[in-house]
Structure 1
């Protein structure tokens, strides 16, 4: 007598035909489903509508034998409600972003400035806006932007994510990390941090890369700012 391994999953040849009609039959046996072979792999339950439902004991499949108790549209609505409930459970309403107010939009300004030391900030300096610096509609996260006009207490900022223009407090703006790397390469250095393992602190002469724009403005040299000088030179009368 030939030995055959015992089946652990319901064979596809014994799946039902006519599911949803109330008169399902076995594909292979032709008898009422579940047949003897299929019954060894199924457990019976009852749907809320009263129809018999069969679950595969070693698999994810189930079969609703009676007439359909819902339409496809109802199934989609129910699934959407379940997803909405799951979203609300993980992201409570207090974390939803309010509607964004109107802001002017502008193409990326043609500025490019890399600070080389304390107080060396000009239009074209890339910065990160700290959480709380923008309207809550833009989220309570860091945002990358370019300073297009300096001032106190607020600077004009061009936001990289959507090109909107904002007025942001200077103490909420911090220099982008690439500025330190570019400045270090320009100075012929490979690192601006103390030697050692773990999180290495900045060298004393490079502490300024972690300053806010407000701190840089406090350390600007006295006299005319570069933008003011440019305007004076532009409109000066040559004798």
Structure 2
């Protein structure tokens, strides 16, 4: 077994720390050479300060050394940290807290309706159809984001819907309700229609059939038995 073997240190050994009277004129404590010495270089990574001076950071530790003139004060550090925090918040926006919205007016609350319906074709809107309420369709107290809701009474110009958020019931304009919150490849194009478009889809046919009936009634009313 070899003698003199020791475990290689993970962090920069204290005997190879810099010493000197001013930055930029540091000497290694053990090697008596300009710092960082060859040994210290194995534990450091080089960087550059905003002032342009070279910096050294301990690879596996929190220590760092600024090799150059002092370019900042404690006040500068606080100002820079505040600017970094502001930039982070602007780059990562989030929904405002609940007190940002005005108080919610009273709305009827119900348990989840027993209806269940999935549209199979354009215009197939019945109680139990799940929709998304567009931002701005509800009172501002319910926020400015899409709300998931079930249609409990379809109609024009407004439908009655039940919100999954808090179980409240609302009358919402049919053109502010959509079946899908976002497009998907496995869905037909009519999933992106508003509920108003679906409800209007069968209206021309119904009106046309009603006109035929009226014409037939007019013909019969003018007919007399011989």
Normalized against structure 2, the TM-score is what? 0.47
Instruction: Report which of the two structures shows the higher radius of gyration computed on alpha carbons.
Output: 2
